[in-house]
Structure 1
């Protein structure tokens, strides 16, 4: 969540979207704090100092940590500020807290304005380098990660860093086949886009960035959300919004339709298509048409969304039409949009086993969503992860699956209530997780589900990005011996957050202050341990490309420590440990003979080695030699019968060979969407191996449990 909250202010660093290369290169107008922002900071500080699980006084020590976190957020790679800037800014390092209590945000805004100034200077300098070109025969290298390095000592050093960065960007495009003229066009447009994004940063961006530096200086999972970010968070939890049903992106200064949501007003109208550009937005049947050309994407989206059953009119330039092409006026009525792509889904994978075929049901759950608002207003059909999974289980049972695999990879969590309810679908009634608040009081969260919906063999697939509610579910399944945990060690987030509406705290009639996602408790497994810091350790492990020191809870220097409490009273469902030696042996034997899995191991090793080197050569001959080596390695993977035609699509080929040197939205939209679709259809090696492991388990356990599971009828979910 942390990067999502901070991304708007400096997203240009990693995910630039294309716009016109003609921009104003002057330093943007300095930002100044608004009265409501200073007041919101004061209210947030009062709450955090008193009610946070790790409550800390807003003293000089915390002020220093806020300062450090703020700089880390603004300039994580240390390529904008120089040491003299840091020395100058550090004069207020220990005063940020006392200033906040006095409703004074002048210091953080001054820091932010200097950041904008320096970023503008660096990007303007980057454009000048394109006029002279580079010597690619010279032996030098580019360090792509500088987080652990010192600040550049002076202007000469920071310019040298940018020279190498631009040279690296140029070489990537050159290796991808672009001539120098095309390279200059792409990079000039890219850096111009970054400059334009800097010029569009506003007060809300600056304030939200600073407030997140404050919250994360206390503990990694407490965040501040400005009103617009809070609304987006609500959408992500409820999987619904009111709008026209179009996924928008920003391309060449246009708000562009990337995809249409099936069943939404935009799709049903038949008037809009992928690639159409929205030039203006008008409210109602007669409201004035407002030009949105060059707008920030979030501003355009806010204008297009609106209240249920209201009219929005769009001035549209059709896809493929030139800048002077004929426009069309599209009138739509806003309706509820369900984000079905993010719902739980299921499929059936078949695994041959001698004369038998094992059927493994796979349920993919992207998040633990729950429509809080609908639930609170008494809507009995409110949207939730556990309800959707229960429906998927019923469908899989009708297909007579032998086992079920719940895929929680990249599931960052969500509702604690949903984690408990989902666990109940597989264990029935019983304790799921223990929650300890700041006062040390421990409460036991229990499933009230009368009977399990699925009693058959079960597996849970996790990776390093499986966090929070995912870890609660996986840990409970493991502690009960209810199913096997397969994959990588999980993230290690063992804390509980609640949403605090700051406007409600002070009776604001309209949203002004935003919301806090504040850590109020820590959760513990029913066995007394915690997933905090250490995560959930799989029963059968897969290789990982993540470094625990760089990603996951252990990468935070202020994460809560691992600890344990008294175990809850619970009765394990089974002892699966007796099966693990045989399953691991079968797994090891299978992957030893599985070329795709072995290729994946090679690629992970290559990736880890490259990351540890933390540099790439800027010598063209050396890079082409590296590329040739990689191409030869991939060519050797083709089946002997391939004869060079229609080569087997390699789902795990080294990304360096697919690197076109472009950034987000610099590619053709249709091509990018086609590539995304192809990647989704690539063979999922980890998923298929997890499926085979569950098929092995079914064979080891025999048919008695399988038959019992099929005969079981599903009770209704407990409300």
Structure 2
């Protein structure tokens, strides 16, 4: 979940106080730059606790209760499925349960070192366990079961119990894979190929896997395989997955695990206070700005090799047309320097060598997908990650044109005032839609986890004349009200804001402001995520003089809470939709209210604001929408599906007997068939790009494909369809006349 980040000059006094107070504490040199330097770890521990205590909105007391929370979170983070540690390990660790507060304050790393050393030992032992288990075929005729509720499961008492736990976990994974393979062969034998292919198009994840393998079998024209062969394949697949997992784990160094420990500490203050190691801080900055300096390629680790997984459209690697997805990077050279072998190197380290300042050269020695070796020279440049940015589409419905704007994140580039930000981009899209004579706008912030606070004010200001947008309160200080001071209204027509339970933080501020002004209709899940806190990102390097230890990273800490202009907080409660639409995950616990240690809800005085008075059909549009949803068979089915998914989420026990497992899976599949119409739904609306983007797609095949996929998704989206229905209902009589005229013109042309 992305936090709301707010860098405003008026709050520098808080940080300045921290800096002044910390000079005597941290003004010393560190000699070594070793990745496991204990002096660096102690310094980091001291810095973090000090900065949090001085800067956090409501710092927790570092006492025995705090200690127990850190202990629980950290042990769970190290071994979430309880397949590494033995009960004897936990018994040994438990003596530190009430001592961590003292160790933290005294910069004592004993607990961390003990747990880290034991984890590495147990992981090495576990690798031998799974390798041994997978050498022997599984007996799927035995009547045994496995419970996947790891939270309630006990730790293994000894090595024999741990081995048995691993055996059952792996057997369950293999059984699931074997069941799919058997189903494929049975379908193939029955000649059911087209039916399975259509399942791929339906969006059903499980059947998509089936369809993918089915197509490969058909293509290769393979003969049916024996049970023994299929069972062996499942073990080989299981081993590859575990090898990949352990390969990733082995890539983590002690610093990485110390970051896990540090974040177990920061999480006790609140869920959104956390530490960014240098690489994580860089990734966070990229996610906020939507751009980076490099070659524009996504990398992934494949065993000891680094593979190009995707080229970012418009980036230098994409423009060069020599590097391809699937190429394996063998060596990296900075310009004409000697190439460095990167086989076996950590992914983060390979990324560091490939990235670099705009205008510099990097030379990659790659093994192409056809097996040939090539040296590819690329000049680094600014790469914009298009998926981060706002996009819009236009659709004609009942003779009226409507615009749909999707905002994935409230992005901003803090380093470049002239860089892209969500406020500017939304304003531009609104202007473009106005040129297309749209009669209403849907602003979609579903799954938008937040971002920059300043952009929220800018975006909300596009739809009102002027007034307060959000209220902010710092600990011990008077509230502050952020205003839209620009009287200009970019869009004064019908407006719908789409939200869901994953719309968080900045998304909630926007939805709340629009709702309080009654400027537009909020439509979506029962309530949004419920994150009503503001975070600042603090560079920890500023606190150390003559720093010889290297980059210390940054701390994201909660410094403020924000409130609606009506005075209520969005914390925990989120924003309740004006029109609630059933969704498949409505009953699952995934909001801020379900997160341990979340800050409480409260209320302050309301700001002074004037409700929008140009929505004559506001109440009627809401009532009409509720009526349509209540009578919709599709929405009824979605609601029923949500309850079924909720009931399934509590089912942790699985039979490891093939016949019983297949019978249970068949029963689930039969029940799931009832809900297939949900994924096959089509709203029969045709979405298209705006003229400027149509021109871009003629030169950019990747962009064209992405937009085609998005438009297809919109044409299958029942929620977007209802949002457009609401826009219909918000039309005034004069607008209706326009619709009639448009229809007549359309008929005349045809």
TM-score (norm 1): 0.82
CA contact (8 A) 1:33 1:203 kept: no
Gaps of 5+ in 1: 4-29, 376-380, 640-647, 653-674, 710-719
Structure 2: how far apart are the matches of 1:522 and 1:139? 54
Name the counterpart of 1:688: 718
* Structure 1 residues 419 and 199, CA gap change in structure 2 (3 angstroms): same
Segments of structure 2 that go 5 or more residues without pairing to the other structure are 4-33, 183-229, 683-704, 740-750
Taking the aligned partners of 2:134 and 2:281, their CA distance within structure 1 comes to 41
Q: 1:288 aligns with which of 325, 338, 350?
A: 338
Of residues 458, 483, 500 in structure 1, which corresponds to 2:495?
458
Query: 2:288 aligned with 1:225, yes or no?
Result: no
Query: What is the CA deviation profile of residues 75-112 of structure 1, one whole-angstrom value per residue up to 9, with x for unaligned ones?
Result: 23333323322221122223323333333323213212
1:327 aligns to 2:373 (yes or no):
yes
Aligned residue in 2 for 1:240: 291
Instruction: Give deviations 1:467-517, integer Å, cap 9, x for gaps.
Output: 111111111111111111111121111100001001012245575211000
Tell whether 2:395 aligns with 1:349.
Answer: yes
SS in 1 for 2:181: coil
Residues 45 and 58, structure 1, Cα contact 8 Å, conserved in 2: no
Relative to structure 1, the CA distance from residue 70 to residue 512 in structure 2 (aligned partners, 3 Å threshold; closer, same or farther) is same
CA contact (8 A) 2:442 2:723 kept: no
Q: Structure 1, residues 139-192: CA drift from partner, whole Å, max 9, x if none?
A: 443333322444445444443332221111101211221712211221112222
Is residue 584–residue 639 contact of structure 2 (8 Å, CA) maintained in 1?
Answer: no
Q: 1:245-264 residue pairs with structure 2 within 5 A? A: 245-264=296-315
CA distance change for structure 1 residues 34 and 618 in 2, over 3 Å: closer, same or farther?
same
2: CA distance, partners of 1:309 / 1:500: 29
SS at match of 1:120: helix
For 1:435 and 1:681, locate their aligned partners in 2 and report how far apart those are by CA, in whole Å.
Answer: 38
Q: Would the alpha carbon gap of residues 419 and 706 (structure 1) be closer, same or farther in structure 2, given more than 3 Å must change? A: farther
Cα shift readout 1:635-672 (whole Å, capped 9, x = no counterpart): 78899xxxxxxxx98479xxxxxxxxxxxxxxxxxxxx
| Structure 1 equivalent of residue 172 of structure 2 | 168
Compared CA separation, residues 327 and 686, structure 1 to 2 (3 A): closer
Q: CA RMSD in A?
A: 3.0
- Assess, with a 3 A threshold, how the Cα gap between structure 1 residues 439 and 636 changes in structure 2: closer, same or farther: closer
1:564 Cα deviation from its structure 2 partner: 0.8
Match of residue 75 from structure 2: 71
In structure 2, C-alpha distance between the alignment counterparts of 1:32 and 1:2, rounded to whole Å? 29
Which one has the largest radius of gyration? Answer: 2
Q: CA deviation at 1:55?
A: 1.5
Q: Of the candidates 95, 105, 108, which is equivalent to residue 109 of structure 2? A: 105
Q: SS of the counterpart of 2:108?
A: coil
Q: Does 1:410 align with 2:447?
A: yes
Q: Is the 8 A contact 1:466 1:491 kept in 2?
A: yes
Give the Cα–Cα distance (whole angstroms) in 2 for the partners of residues 127 and 432 of structure 1. Answer: 59
2:119 to 115, 120, 124: 115
- 1:629 is displaced (CA, Å) by 4.7
**Distance in structure 2 (CA, Å) of the matches to 1:258 and 1:120:** 29
Q: CA deviation at 1:600?
A: 4.1
1:282-339 deviations in Å (ceiling 9; x for gaps): 1122x12111112222221111001221111100100132xxxx31111111111111
- Judging changes above 3 Å, is the alpha-carbon distance between structure 1 residues 438 and 649 closer, same or farther for their aligned structure 2 residues? closer
> In 1, distance between residues paired with 2:669 and 2:460?
46
**Aligned residue for 1:215?**
266
- In structure 2, do the counterparts of structure 1 residues 636 and 232 end up closer, same or farther at CA, with 3 Å as the change threshold? closer
The corresponding residue for 1:15 is none
What residue is the counterpart of 1:569 in the other structure? 608
Asked whether the equivalents of residues 468 and 493 of structure 1 are also in contact (C-alpha less than 8 Å), the reply is yes
Equivalent pair of 2:622/2:726 in contact (CA under 8 Å): no
Q: Distance in 2 between matches of 1:706 and 1:449?
A: 30
C-alpha contact 1:37 1:513 (8 A) present in aligned 2: no
2:137/2:232 contact within 8 Å kept? no
Select 2:457's aligned residue among 415, 420, 439: 420
1:137, 1:131 → 2: CA distance? 18
3-state SS of 1:613 partner: coil
Change (3 A) 1:180 1:32: same
Equivalent of 2:662 in 618, 624, 642: 624
Describe the superposition over 1:324-359 as per-residue Cα deviations: whole angstroms up to 9, x where unpaired: xx31111111111111121000112333xxxx3343
Q: Does 1:607 align with 2:634?
A: no
Determine if the alignment matches structure 1 residue 382 to structure 2 residue 419: yes
| Cα pair distance change 1:634/1:44, threshold 3 Å | closer
Q: 1:135 to 1:415 in 2, by over 3 A?
A: same
The residue that corresponds to 1:14 in the other structure is none
Range moving further from structure 2, 237-246 or 291-300? 291-300
Describe the superposition over 1:224-248 as per-residue Cα deviations: whole angstroms up to 9, x where unpaired: 0011111111111111111011122
Aligned 8 A contact 1:548 1:554 in 2: no
8 A contact 1:479–1:526 mirrored in 2: yes
Structure-2 change in CA distance of 1:318 and 1:384 (3 Å): same
The answer to whether structure 1 residue 360 and structure 2 residue 397 are counterparts is no
Bigger share in helix = 2
CA distance in 2, matches of 1:158, 1:432: 56
Which whole-Å CA distance do the structure 1 matches of 2:619 and 2:473 have between them? 29
2:597 alignment counterpart: 558
Matches within 5 A, 1:559-708: 559-574=598-613, 576-589=618-631, 591-592=632-633, 594=634, 597=635, 600-601=638-639, 603-629=641-667, 650=680, 683=713, 687-699=717-729, 701-704=731-734
Query: Which of 55, 59, 66 pairs up with 1:62?
Result: 66
- C-alpha separation in 1, matches of 2:316 and 2:727: 47
Q: 1:264 to 1:482 in 2, by over 3 A?
A: same
Matched, 1:371 2:409: no
Number of equivalenced pairs: 636
Query: Who is 1:194 aligned against?
Result: 245
3-state SS of 1:372 partner: coil
1:475 has 2:512 as partner: yes
Provide the rounded CA distance (Å) in 2 between the counterparts of 1:638 and 1:97.
52
Q: How many angstroms apart in 2 are the aligned matches of 1:555 and 1:621?
A: 37
Whole-angstrom CA distance in 2 between matches of 1:638 and 1:608: 17
After superposition, what is the alpha-carbon deviation per residue over 1:257-291, rounded to whole angstroms, capped at 9, x for unaligned? 11212222212222111111111101122x12111
Contact 2:412-2:422 within 8 A present in 1 as well: yes
Give the corresponding residue for 2:323: 272
Partner of 1:137: 141
Q: Secondary structure at the match of 1:431?
A: strand
Q: Is the 8 A contact 2:571 2:600 kept in 1?
A: yes
Counterpart check, 1:34 vs 2:80: no
Alignment partner, residue 23 of structure 1: none
1:212 match: secondary structure? helix
Residue in 2 that maps onto 1:309: 359
User: 1:143-162 to 2 correspondence within 5 Å?
Assistant: 143-162=147-166
Partner SS state of residue 523, structure 1: strand
TM-score between the two structures when normalised by the length of structure 2: 0.79
SS in 1 for 2:399: strand
Q: CA deviation at 1:427?
A: 1.8
SS at match of 1:177: helix
